[in-house]
Every structure is written in C-alpha cells, then in structure tokens.
Amino acid sequence: MKVKSYALVIVLFLFSITAIFAQEKTITGTVTGAADGLPVPGVNVIVKGTSRGVQTDFDGNYTIEATVGETLVFSFVSMKTVESIIGSGNTINVAMEEDIAALDEVVIVAYGESTLQTNAASVTTLKTDKIENRANAAVLQGLQGQVAGVNVGTGSGQPGGDSNIIIRGVGSVNSEVEPLFIIDGVPTNRDNFRTINPNDIESFTVLKDASATSLYGNRGSNGVILITTKKGKFNEGLKFQYSNSYGFSKLQPQKIELFDSAEILRWQRDNGAGDGVGLSDQQIVAIAGQTNTDWYDVFFRTATTMSHNLAITSGGEKTRNYTSVQYAEQEGIVANTDFKRMSVRNNFNGRSSNDKLKYNLNLAFSYAKTNEQDGSGSASVFFNPFRASLQGLPYLSPFDPDGSQTIDGGVIPGQVGTFTGANSKNFVYVLLNSIALNTDEEEDVRFVGNFDINWEFVDNLTAGIALGVDYRSERRTEILHPGSILGPFQSEQGNQAAFGGIYESTDTRDVRSTTLTNLSYQNTFGNKHDFEISAFLEYNRDFIDIIDFDQDGLDERFLGSTNAFIAANTQELIGGNLVNPYLPVLNAGSFTTGLFSYFSRASYTFDRKYGVQASIRRDASFRFSEENRWGTFWSVAGRWNIDEENFMENSAFDLLKLRASYGTVGNQLVGTATIDGFVLPTNYRGLNVAVPQIISGAGYNSTVSLIPNAANLGNPDLRWETTKSTNIGLDFGVWNSRFSGSLDVYKRVTEDLFFSRNISLINPGTNIDSNVGELQNQGVELKLDYNLVQTEDLSMSVGGTVSYNENEITKLAPETNGLIDSGGLTVLAEGQPFGAYYLTRFAGVNPANGEALFLDINGNITENLDPSDRVFLDKSSQPTWQGGFYTNINYKGIQLSTQWSFVADVYRVNLDYAELEDVGVGTVGNGQNRSPAVLNAWQNPGDITDIPRVGSTHSSFSLAVNSDRYLEDASFLRLRNIELAYVFPTDYLKRTPFTAIKVFAQGENLLTFTKYRGNDPESNFRTIDRGQYPTSRIMSFGTVINF
Amino acid sequence: MKMKNILKYKNIWILCLMVALFGCQDAIDINQDGFLGPDNAYNTVDDLQSGLNGVYARYLPDTGGNGTGGEIYHNSVFTDEIKSGIASAGQGSQLYDFIIDNTNTGGASFLIWQDNYRMIARANRVIEAFNVVTISSTDMERANHIRGQLLGLRALGHLKLLEYFAPSYDDPNGLGVINLDFVNNVNDQLPRNTFGETADLIRSDLETAQNLLDPSQTSNIFINVDVVKALRTRLALIEGDYSTALNLSSQLVSDYPLANQTQYLNMYQDTDNTEVIFKLSRVSGDNDVALLYFFNFIGPSDGYLEVSNQLFNELSEPTGDIRLNAVVSGAFSTINGVDDPTNVLVLNKYPGSADGQATNDIKVFRSSEMWLIKAEAEARMGNLTEAANSIKTLRDARFGSATATPNYGTLNQALTDILLERKKELCFEGHRYLDLKRLGSELGIGINRNPIDCASFQANCTLPSTDPRFTLPIPQAELDANSNIQVNPSN
C-alpha cells in the first residue's frame, strides 16, 4: 500500500506545481436538487482533468480552488453530472437533476450489490416512486406491467387480497411457481404482503436469469424479488415527510346486460315456467312498476379508502435513521369487507469513523385486520354474492315492508323449504343475510427485523454476519351467525338441533429465521483488473404452528362471550335418539423446515470493458433422502461493455452492454402444502415426500390402528426440480441516457418435474410423487425509457415494457401417453403449454331443431357433446404477451402521469355470462335472471342463431365446462394508474416551515379495454370465472408535505 | 485499529462461524412432530396389535354402495341373485348386463384387486416391524398370536385374489396372482406368479399361522385356529385336494353345529353365533353392507336392488325353508304372484343390527359352508351317499324337520344339487359368482336368469358357463402402472 500512497503524493505535488503558474481563485457555491430545490450534501465537485476535488457539506455548500477556464464537474449518485466552466465569477450554484438511468446506480443483486454498468445478470429494479401513495393496500398489484417478464395476476378485489406472481412463465406443474421474496435479506411470506407498508419500500429488484438467482439455489427457480426498504441519508438534517390520501372505490362498470322485471316475467311466461306463467301484460307491468331491482346496486357499494403516513429521516456523519408510521384503511365494494393496517418501521445504519465497519438494523412492526368475503368463486349459490348479484331476479324487492333494506326478504331461518329446492329464487336474500350477519375476519401481527454487520478487518478483506427474522401471527375468525338464515343448519344434526351457527377460530404463528455469514475479498490490480470473491454460509429455519377450533351450536344472546358456546355434554332427543349435537372440533399442529447452504461467488472485471462472474451453491434440503439431499447449483455470466471500446468513443451511447448467462437453479418446494388438513404457506410444501408415513386410522372393530398413509408412500428417489436457464441480454443508453432500455432473450428448461405417478396397486396407495416430466419457457423481454423533453420548465418521458413467453410441456410420464386429464377445462399435454384448454368445439345451433351443435374429433358436425371429441384449441389460461407503458409530463410543477398495463393471448371460460344465457331443458323457471340474449334463442326451423332452443338438451353450464362456447379472450389493456399532481414552487414556501408540498389526485383501474364479457378481465390466471370478487376502480386525493 | 481489538473481534467472528456451523445439522435432519415412518412407528407389541387392527380394517368384501361395489356386490349383481328394485335409478344395470369394466374404480375388478393387496401390504409392513420391536418372553405368546393373525389375513387376501383372478384352478402352472410376502419397493412392477406358487404361499402362510396362533383365543371376529382351518378347507377345495377338504371340513362341522331356524334368523341380526366360524365385525361408522342394495336401510320402497324372482321361487319350493325368511323380508315385500313383474322382493339378509339400521357383520365362514364342502368332497371322492347325507343334515336344520335324503345317481347330479344348495344357503354372502366359475364351468351351468328378472333391467338373461367373464380382468390401473403384469384371457 505504501507504494501507492507515495505515488499519490507525487501526483498531487506535481499538480500543485502546475497550479502555481495559473490564475487560481476560490470558487464557492451551493448545489441543490432541481426537483425539490433542496441542498444536496455529499456531491463530488472535481476540477475536470485533475484530481482536485471536494464534497458539498451538509447544506450543499462547497469551496474549491480553481482557475479560470477550468471546468468543474459536479457528480452524485443517481443525479445527472453537471459541468460548469469557470468564468469571471466566484460563485457557481448548480441545480442537479435526477438521472433516469444512472449508470453507477446501485443495483441490488443476490447477496450483494452491483451497478447497471457492471451487472451481467438479468435484473430489473423498480423504484417505488413509480407506485408511491397509491390507495390500493396491496402493493404488489402495482407492479403489473412495470417489469418485463413479471406477470402479476390479481384474482380478487378483496382489499388486502393477494396477487399471483409468475416470472418468465410457469416453471412447474405441481410445485411452487411463484418467486422467492426477500425483504432486506429476510426470506418472507409473499402471501401476506398486506402487512407491509408500501411507502417504506425503496425498490423492488426482480432477479430473472440463472446468473441472478442461482445463488438462491434450491429456492431460486421461479425467480427472486428483493425488496429494499428506505434509509436515511448521512449528513442530513432532521426531515419530516407527511402524506395522506383519501378516496373511494367503485365496481367496474357492469358490462353484462340483464333483463328487467317485465322482461324476465314475460320471458318466463312465454316459455311456460317460473313466476311469469299466467300473468297478463297488465299484471306484469304492475309488478315491474313496483319492483325493478338492480341487485348489483344492492350488493355493491361505493367504498372509501384513507391513509396517513409520516416518515422521519435524519443523518449524522456516521449514522443515519429512517422512521415511519402509517395508518391505512380500505373498504371493499362488498358490504362488510374492509382492510385496516397500522405499521411502524425504523431503519438505522451506522459506520465506524474509518468506514471499515458498517452495521444496519431494520425493524418493522405492523397490525392488519381484514374483513373478507370468501365465497367468491364458490359453486354454492348460498355463499357467493357475486353470482347472486347477476342472477337475482329483478322483481324481488330488496326492501322490507317498512322501506328499509332487507336482510332476509322474509325468509325465516331454518325453514328449509323457503329457500332451497331446484327453482328457489330466494338465494339473494340468503346472501344478503349472510353478508349482514356473518363474520369472516383475519387479524395479522407482523414483525420483520434484520441486523447485519460487516467489517473490513484487513484491507480488502471483509467479514460479515446477517441475522433476520420474519414473525407473523394470524387469527382467522369465522362466525356463521346462529340467527342467520343458514344458522340453524350448521350442527351435525341439520336444523334439528336447538342451537345453530358455527364459530371457527384459527390461530397461526409463522416464524422464519435466517443467518448468513460471509467473507469477501476484493481488490484492484494494475488499475484494470478488478477481482472479487466471496464465500457464504447460510442457515434458514422456519416454524409454524396452528391451532384451530370449531364449535357448532351458539347461543346468539351471548355471542362474543364464552357463554355463547353450548356445552359439549348437552344432549338432545333428535330422531328418537339422545345425541350430543354440540361436540367441538379441535385441531393443532406444528411444522418446521430448514435449509443449510454454503456458496461462493467470484467476479473479474477488466478495464470496465469485460466482466465475468460465476457462482456455485450447495444446498442441503431435509426434504429428500440422505442420498439425494445435497444439490449443487451454479452459474456463469459474462458481459462486454461495448461503449467502453475505443471505437465507440464519441458515439451517442453511454451504455451498450451485451451480457450472457447460463446456470442452474432448483425448486425444493415440491408437492402439496396441505398437510394433516392444514393449508400451510407454500414454503412448507413437501415436508414428508421421501419417507413413507405411518398414520393413525380407524381400526377394525372400533379400535385405533397404525396404517401406512396411502397418500404419502414416500419416494426415496425424489429430488428437487431443476431449471436450466440461458439468457442473452443487451442494455443500452444513448444521448446521456435519455433513451435507454434492455432487451433479453431467454430459455428456461425445467427438468425432473414433480408429478404424482401411478404405481402398481399392490402398494398401500395408488400414486407416488415422482420426478417425471419436463417443461420449458422461452421468451423475449423489452424495456424502453425515453426522456422526450428535459428543460427547466417542461419534462416529458415515456416508456414501457413488453414481454413474450412461450410455455411448453415437453415431457410427461410415459404411462400418461403424453396427456394428463384431471377432468378440468385444461389438460397437461406434451407439446402444449401449461393451462391449454381441451374442450369440444361448439359449432352453433342446428337450424332444423334448435339443438347446440359441436364438431367431433374429425371436424364433423354432431349434436352429441362427447368428451372424446375434445381437442386442443391453441388457447391457454396463461398469457403469452404482457407488459405496460407509462407517460410522465411535468410542466412547472404540474405533473401528469399515466401507467398502463396489458396482457394478451389469454383465455378464460366465462361461466358468469353463460349462466345468464341458460336455455337448457327445465331451466326457465330456475329462479335466476337472464340476459336479453336469450330472446335470440332458436324458435322455428330455419332460424340462424347462436342461442339454442329454450328447453334444448344442454344447460349453459354444460356448454361452458365441456365446450368452447364460453371460452373468451380475456386480453385487456388497463389504465392501471393516472395521477395529476402539483408541486408548489420552493419560492412560495420560503416563508413557511415547509420545504415541499405536493397535492395529487389519483385514479386506479379507471379505463379498461377488453373483449371479455365478464365483470373483470383481470385474474390470477384461473380457468373459469364464476362469481369472483372483481377488482374495483379507486379514486383518491392526497397531499405530501415535507418539513 | 489496535491489534488487541482485532484479536477480540476475531474471536467474535470465529464464534459466529462456529455457531453457524454447529447449528447447521438441525437444518438438515428435520423430523416433523408426530410424523411416524416405518423406522419409528412400531416400538411395542401394542404397536403391532395396532398395526394388525389396520390390516383387519382393510378387508372389505362388503365395500361399495349406490351402484358400486366389490366382492359381495359383484357376486349378487353379475349373477342371478337380484333383480332391479322398486327404488332403482339404474344402479347395477351395466354389471347386471355382464359388462365388467376394469377401468371402473367402483367395480369388482379394481376393488377386489386393490383392497386385498392393500390388506396384504399392510400385513407385510407389520410383519416386517417384528424385526425392530423387542419382544419380552412374557409378551411372546401375544406377539405370536398377532403374527399368526397377520399371516392368516395375508393368506386370506391371496386366496381371494386367486379365486377371482386366476383363470383356472386346475393348472398349477397357469396364471396365479402376484405373491406379495414382502414389503415391496414402491416402484416395483411385478409379474404374476403361477397358480401353484400362489397356492403354495397361501398354504405355507396358513401352516405357519396355525403354529403361531394361540388356541385359547377363539373369538369368531378374529383370525383363530379354526378360521385358519376353514381357509385351508377352502384352499383345498379349489385346488382339488378333496381328502384334505373332507378331513378339515369334517373337523369344523363337528366343532360348529348348524343353527336351528331361530338361531339362523338371529344370526343375520348378529345376535346368534352358533354356526359362525368367522365373521367381520361391523360397527357404527363402518361401511353399511345394506347400502349395497338399499338407499338408506331395509324398507318397503328403499331398495334399488331386490331378490330375484328366480331365487325367491327356489327358496319357496318346497315350503318351510327358513332361508326364504332369511333372504326375503316378509314384512316389507309385496308378492303379487309367481313371476309377477310387480313383485317387490325386499332383501332381508342385511336387516341391520344394534350397530346401525344398515349395519351387519359380514359372515365369512359358516358351518353350513363346511357341510357343503364336506358333501362336495364326499361326492367327488365317490361317496355319493355320504354326500347326500351331508346335504340332508343341512336341509334338516334349515327346514326345522327331517327332510328326504336326496338321491344322487351320478357325481354330476350331486354337484348340480350342491351348487343349487350353495346358492340357497350362501346367497348375498359373496359366493355365487365364484361357485358358477368353479362348479358351473365343470357342470356346464352358466347364468340362466328368470326372464322376469332380466326384464327388470332390460338386460341379457343368459351367460354360458364357458364365458371368460367368470374370471375378473386385471384392473386397468394395474395394467397402466405395471408393464410386467399378464392380462387374463378375454372374449
């Protein structure tokens, strides 16, 4: 080291000599941020071509010696570098602009950091300023369309609901398909994002190729999403930021046309069934004049949202701090559904005086409460309000005789005949009743904390340790009110017992812990050779325990207290026998997982131009037998920064980087996460897959027995699924990065796919889990950002992402003959994508008799709807195209931004619509409303129509689930977010305590373009829509105040 | 930084590293609480008994309901025991029309194959566990008795499989079934053994069982020495070892008297055990055998399957046969005339018991069957008179008075009469299909239904005795998963 120091002294000495001969003077000035006008501390101010430099102080001020004609260069991370030639003046103030794609910006990668310049992997970082202050409590929904290759499917409008996230196509059939989520180094439960305050998140980093994810070994095959929370800044005064937002949400415009009272009654009359039969036109008009209910308006409401957020940052020379508190509320558009969250966070960073030792402590605590409506998607007409809102008959009144909205429509609890039966229409009242009286509540308490310390104990050699814990407890309480219409039916004795109702409570505690130790060596040789090697040791343990009880039989007078539970030893005389109708059910279980790993990463860079990196990881997964326990995963990647080549000098390119990678990753989360009847989070999948299980069963002659578990015979040969992934990418930036982007081409092949395989019946069960099968995803991703205009008053930028993914199942177990038909709408088949629909083709309506027609397997017309005529339709439930784009305009502080997202080439069966077109035999009087489309039903020989004869053979349900009649294109383009904001000029605020004020109005999901005829084209890639909770439109207003 | 500090810090790092390293093993060797595998499930003789309870629980000749079913259901529906009932929604119409679908997981081909192999697989796991359980000398007798029962059940399973799936009982080198006397690897695809090999395994299991079983344990709902004897009798019969069959059946009939008429009816109510050698206990929560024939329980309008007119006629003539009362419910039936299509012939063999209105014990071996085997063995060994006397003994008990001694001029006559007597005595207890397979093929007697009965299903009335459908096909699920299995001949 000594030699280097001497060299520096000599260089400095030489420079100082030259300076003597020039006309030197002292320049002072202040550096501020162009956006907010606030001083920027820590900016490097360098005299161009020299090594003379200083940093701006706490107030953005600097002082430097320089000569006239020299150029000062102001540079700061994530800001555009500014150059200023020294003239006659002695003061140079600079306003620095944010750099949209700063090359040296830190890119968070697996177990470390990189930069856009040097990173060779396929990694996308999304700064959350793009999704900040949104009224939607579920932060992940905002990601859709913003990161190429990341598909965010939101299947429910439930406030705080989860989204399904698929990166680069479905990579498994029977195992985990969603990415690993890591918050500040702590592996976390992705299905519980509602407890995370979105405003605390600094960035999402999506790791896509094997070079990026291989370091996560047996957890990395579906990609990894790293979440970094906000930090304070060193050398910065105490700052407050308070923001709030208020808003309301509404259902998407109802697209399905429905009959009104007169129309449905007339249709019933004309077709000889239902309440319309025998009514005269006058009677119908009279009924319709009295009651014409739009059940949509009854079931759905305009709901409110609200949030308050306070963030406090401060920083000294060696410590910095970020503290935040938040309260957020979001009502659902269905009555009695809502979400509330309270969260606090503190992130603290410190470093030693010589910066060799650094430590971080992040602590976050939150409490969330959700009232749900979990009947969505249910086939049961009595538990799904979303179907009822379409199917409720308009001539039923939503009011009680006294004019208030009814909660029972006169239906008496427990009287079975009044609402069951094939043609009962009173289900709407049962649902109103359930919504009004029943409880389905979840409470989450979440604590996420992590601590890490790193020490460069010898020059270039750093050791560190990181500890993290994610603790979550959830209590779900479901009460089926004993006084509700369905209440009396809930005991084991049907409605015979004296007390009805169910109280179920489930308590879950889920703790995940991680420990990481590392040792890194980094050095630069000869100014051109950068070398880094790190070794890591990681230890993960997760624990979950669940306790659950169900009590049938509640005394509603005491609901809420223990007196409500009817004693278990209560006996009643039912059906001539003395029975115990109120026996409670108790369940409890605890489960644990672990992973022990060691891994290493090395990288070498030559002269900024070339870089190679490699990684290797060994994972020991307890899930597999001792012989198959250790998995090795590795990757190599290289890059060529073409822009650094001499021949590129003076080109418009700031960045032109070609990168390529290849590597392997594993998926140890095989098989089911439902164990002993408990539905566990997905990291508990496949706990006992290698060992045959012996369980307790009902024994002969009222005994208890030990028997092999037919569902878990154990396969000692079982292994993780392996994904081999190849990626070639190009990153570029031109014109000072005003136009930048990335292009990636990839192929992922997943081998040893986990399938249940038929075995000889001589075993205690018929199936074992086995590694058979193979699938692949290949695709292209493009991301572009263009800063159209960048002046002091006006800036405009546009950009977007688009990705194309082709999924194909390439191999199934030999005994399947290349096709696995589990009786659904889709099958798994070699040569077909995951989610390929396999249905009989609908071919219109027979003009001769009004029966539905189909194409048989040979393409001939037939009236038979036969499963053997099913064919592949080249349509899948998984989209091949998806992406989004944005526009931002900022004119003198007035900001208008839009963000759009789209998916295309995705199909779904629209059962909601189908059931409104039901003309099947015997369905006219089934107590359900219809769409006016049924008026087009076939009537006379020769009629050409697509609606079969009223009373024809096939119900529309049968057509929907057996033929492609209602398989619809669910592609959509949606205005995900639009924001209009005004940032007050700093001049206005000079005499106020505030440093910045922004007011904004936002709209979410305001516009949707789609051919899909259901409530909501967006979904979690399900195959059929049957009364789902649709995503809502949210409009909100708020302010952000800095002081 | 001072050297002292560095050393101090270094110790901390080393400590951290060691904690991480030594802590690692518990992330690799993880067992879930309460998870039992073959290594830790069986520790005591009680655990072995618990395992045995699970083996018994898997013997399910009465499995099925509402138009599906295994052994008892198949024997009834495929043959001439039933007709369509008053509550029929078509239950059993395919099988009654002689369609045996080996892809149907609710049919006999699948159920008999799977259930018996599952019972055997369970037995083998408990037998294997004897290697890991330490048995004290005081426990040895009990452990031996458990092991004897396990071997007895394994023999019972193999015998059932052999009876239904072996195409012929006459050729020891013909197809038997897979001999499963070990814990197989889950991925094994085993071929069938020969008939002789399977019979040898059954015999050797029964011989070992005989020696292990405690003769003082005589409960007739568990495998005991007499049950093993009955199993050996049945095996000897199908193998054609008539002297053994005669010898063993003679011992059993002397130990188990025939029920009188009252006892006989009580036996089906599960309140009398006079002639029961072995029955399967069925308690509340078990499969309800009556639901093979009824929607809910025995009643005038609840049966979707009823007793055939043919069987009713056979039991009615001559009069006085208590078996008519045992088979056809006098209280719930409507008889409008001989072979009247409107006759409602409600089955009475499963009238319910104290354990439930559709629950009855399943009789596996009764003294009367031993009399029938004895008679057949006597006839086949050339002693037609003794055969006739054996049949008379049985009939005397059933009629409650002395009956005429049958007159057998030829072996054929004797066997034909024994086949009919077996039908009357053992109907609805899972014998008819196997009897036609074994005796019918020899005598040229196939299925020949009363036209009124087959009209109730609009089904075929006759099936020649040579039809290959008297042997069950190997289930498709086995064929799919086992490339080495041999199929049975089909037409």
* Entry pTM: 0.81
ipTM, two decimals, is 0.92
Chain A CB contacts of B364 below 8 Å: none
Q: Which two tokens stand for residue A240?
A: 């407050």
Q: Do A815 and B180 touch (CB under 8 A)?
A: no
Chain B contact probe: residue of A691, A760, A769 with most B CBs at under 10 A: A760
Instruction: Give me the sign of the Cα torsion angle B207, B212, B217, B221.
Output: negative
- For residue B481, is pLDDT > 50? yes
Q: Give how far the C-alpha of residue A741 lies from the chain's centroid of Cα atoms, to the nearest Å.
A: 24
Contact by Cβ (8 Å): A620, A596: yes
Residue B350 has pLDDT above 70, yes or no: yes
Dihedral sign (CA A915, A919, A923, A928): positive
Q: What is the DSSP string of A540-602?
A: EEEEEEEEEEEEE-B-GGGTTSGGGBPPTT--EEETTEEE-TT--EEEEEEEEEEEEEEEEEE
- Mean pLDDT to the nearest integer, B6-15: 57
At position A343, the amino acid (one-letter code) is: S
Tell me the backbone φ, ψ of residue A229, rounded to 5 degrees: -95, 170
CB B396 within 8 A of CB B403: yes
Give residues 149 to 168 of B whose Cβ lies within 8 Å of A: none
Q: Which residues on A lie below 8 Å from B18 (Cβ)?
A: none
Instruction: Please name the CATH architecture into which domain A2-96 falls.
Output: Sandwich (2.60)
Contact indicator for B378, B387 with CB cutoff of 8 Å: yes
B157 pLDDT higher than 70: yes
Pairwise CB contact (< 8 Å): B121 & A695? no
Q: How many other C-beta atoms lie within 10 A of the C-beta of residue A23?
A: 10
Which residues neighbour A600 within 8 Å (Cβ) at sequence distance 6 or greater? A533, A534, A535, A536, A615, A616, A617
CB contact under 8 Å between A713 and B189, yes or no, is no
CB contact under 8 A, A760 and B190: yes
Q: Please tell me the predicted confidence (pLDDT) of residue A76.
A: 79
With CB atoms and an 8 Å threshold, state whether A714 touches B186: yes
Cα separation, A946 vs A948, in Å, equals: 6
Looking at CA atoms only, how far is residue A317 from chain B in angstroms? 20
C-alpha A874/C-alpha A837 separation (Å) is 7
- Residues in chain A predicted with pLDDT less than 50, given as ranges, are 1-22, 100-101
Which bin fits B33, alpha (ψ -120 to 50), beta or left (φ > 0)? beta
How many C-beta atoms surround the C-beta of residue A797 within 10 A?
Answer: 18
Could you give the CA distance from residue A247 to residue A304 in angstroms, rounded to a whole number? 6
pLDDT at residue A338, rounded to an integer: 92
d(CA B161, CA B487): 14
Show me where the domains of chain A are located: 2-96
Q: Which of B312, B243, B52, B34 is nearest to A687 (CA)?
A: B34
Q: Search chain B and give the residue with CA nearest A455.
A: B9
Q: Does B47 touch chain A (CB under 8 A)?
A: yes
Please state the rounded mean pLDDT for residues B181-201: 96
pLDDT confidence of residue B402:
95
pLDDT value for A554 = 92
Taking contacts as CB-CB distances below 8 angstroms, the residues of chain B near A589 are: 33-34
Q: Report how many helices (DSSP H) and strands (DSSP E) chain B contains, helices first.
A: 20, 8
* Partner-chain contact B186 A589, CB within 8 Å: no
Answer whether B221 touches A (CB < 8 Å).
yes
β partners of residue B334:
B344
User: Domains in chain B, please, with CATH?
Assistant: 42-83+93-217+466-491 (1.25.40.390)
Sequence-ordered list of residues with C-beta below 8 angstroms from that of A681, at least 6 positions apart, any chain: A189, A191, A510, A544, A673
Distance CA(A382)–CA(A393), nearest Å, equals: 15
Q: Which residues of A touch B28 (CB under 8 A)?
A: 594, 596, 620, 622, 629
Token digits of residue A359:
């430590």
Model confidence at B38: pLDDT above 90: no
pLDDT reported for residue A405:
87
Instruction: Extract the tokens encoding B485.
Output: 């299995």
d(CA B166, CA B302): 36
Between B364 and A821, whose confidence is greater? Answer: B364
Q: How many CB pairs under 8 A join A and B?
A: 175
Q: Note whether A708 contacts B113, CB cutoff 8 Å.
A: no
Q: Which residues of chain B lie closer than 8 angstroms to A513, CB-CB?
A: none
Q: Is residue B329 pLDDT above 90, yes or no?
A: yes
Which B residues in the span 2-21 are in contact with A, Cβ-Cβ below 8 Å?
A: 6, 9-10, 13, 16-17, 20-21
The whole-number pLDDT of residue A9 equals 45
CB-based contacts of B128, cutoff 8 Å, min separation 6: B38, B183
From A526's Cα to the closest Cα of chain B, the distance in A is 27
Torsions phi, psi for B327 (to 5 deg): -95, -40
pLDDT of the residue at B22: 55
- Tell me the nearest-neighbour CA distance from B251 into chain A, angstroms: 28
Q: What is the pLDDT of residues B243-252, one digit of tens each?
A: 999 999 999 9
- Alpha-carbon distance of B112 to A616, in angstroms, equals 52
Dist CA A673 CA A840 (whole Å): 33
The set of residues, in sequence order, having a beta carbon less than 8 Å from that of A421 and lying 6+ positions away, is none
Nearest Cα to Cα of residue B403 among B417, B413, B415: B417
More confident residue, B393 or A438: B393
Pick from A540, A691, A701: CB nearest B283: A701
Confidence of residue B81 (pLDDT cuts 50, 70, 90): very high
Q: Which of A112, A299, A143 is nearest to A212 (CA)?
A: A112
B37 shares contact with chain A (CB less than 8 Å): yes
pLDDT at B20 over 70: no
Closest Cα in chain A to B181: A762
Q: Which of A532, A553, A690 is nearest to A603 (CA)?
A: A532
